[in-house]
Amino acid sequence: MTLGSAESWIDRIIVVTGAARGQGAAEALLLAELGATVIATDVATEADDLEKAAAGLAGTITYQRLDVTDEHGWADLAQQLGDNRVHGLVNNAGIPQRSRLADVERADWDRVITVNLTGPMLGMRTLAPLMGPGSSVVNVGSVAALTAHHTVAYTASKWGVRGLTRVAATEFGPRGIRVNAVHPGYIDTPMIEGAPPAMLPAHLSLTPLGRPGLPDDVAGVVAFLLSDASAYVTGVELPVDGGYTAHGGAKIIADAVAG
C-alpha cells in the first residue's frame, strides 16, 4: 500500500502550522508534491520561498499568517475556508525554552504551554467541525514527550500533547476523524540552532542510527498518517528519532560492554 496517487490527494485541504521553515516547510512541500491543497501557516509575516518552492508541484501551497495561540486567528481561518471540507491538520508549530525548573520564569512557562499545547487544542477545536470521515489530525510532539531529556516547560508541554492526542482520538473517532502524534528526535532544523554545542554529540551517542534526523524524515511519517494508508490507525504515538527512545538508556551500557 502506498501514500496514493496525486489524484487521490487532489482537492484534499490540509492545514499545516509552523510551516514557514524547517520541519513544517518540509511537511507542507511533501503534501503539495503528493497533490494536496496545503494551507501553510506561521507567525512569520510571509513565506515567499515556500510558495516559490511549491511551483510546479502536483498540489498547491497558500501561505497565511497565523498565531496558533490566537482564537480569533483560528476563527478567521475557519471562516475563510467556508464550506470547504478540511481533510487534514498538522499541528506542527512549537517553540523551545531551555530554562531549568529552578530558573524558569512564569512568563516563559506560560508562553511555551500556550504555543505548544493550547495551540493544537485550539486548532482541533476550531477545524474539527469542518472535518468528516476519513480526515486526519497529526500532532507533532517530541522525544521530550517520552523522556525527561529536555528542560521543564518544553517537556511538560509535549507530555501534554500526548494526552491531548489520545482524548481527541477518543472523542473524534466516532465521526471517522483520526488523531495521532509523531515524536521527532534530534531533527536538523532552525529550531535547534540555539542548542548548546554539546547537545548534538550527546544526542547522537544515544541514537542507534547515529545521525541527526532531517525534516523530510518527519514529513514522510506525517504524510503516512494523513493518508488512506493509515485508515485504521488512530490514537498512536510514533517516535521518529533514529531509535533514541528505544533503549531506555541501555545503549550506554551496551556500548561500554561491547567496547
The secondary structure of residue 187, as a DSSP letter, is B
Average pLDDT, integer, range 151-156: 94
**76: how many CB neighbours lie within 10 A of its CB?**
14
Domain ranges (residues) in the chain: 6-258
How far is 153 from 75, CA to CA, in rounded Å? 27
More confident residue, 94 or 251: 94
The DSSP code sequence of 62-74 is EEEE--TT-HHHH
Confidence of residue 39 (pLDDT cuts 50, 70, 90): very high
Longest dimension (CA), the chain: 62
pLDDT in tens, 100-147: 999 999 999 999 999 999 999 999 999 999 999 999 999 999 999 999
> Which of 6-20, 110-124, 157-171, 189-203 comes out lowest in average pLDDT?
189-203
- Give the homologous superfamily in CATH for domain 6-258: NAD(P)-binding Rossmann-like Domain (3.40.50.720)
> Rounded to whole angstroms, how far apart are CA atoms 138 and 225?
7
Euclidean distance between CA atoms 75 and 71, whole angstroms: 6
Q: Give the active site residues.
A: 154
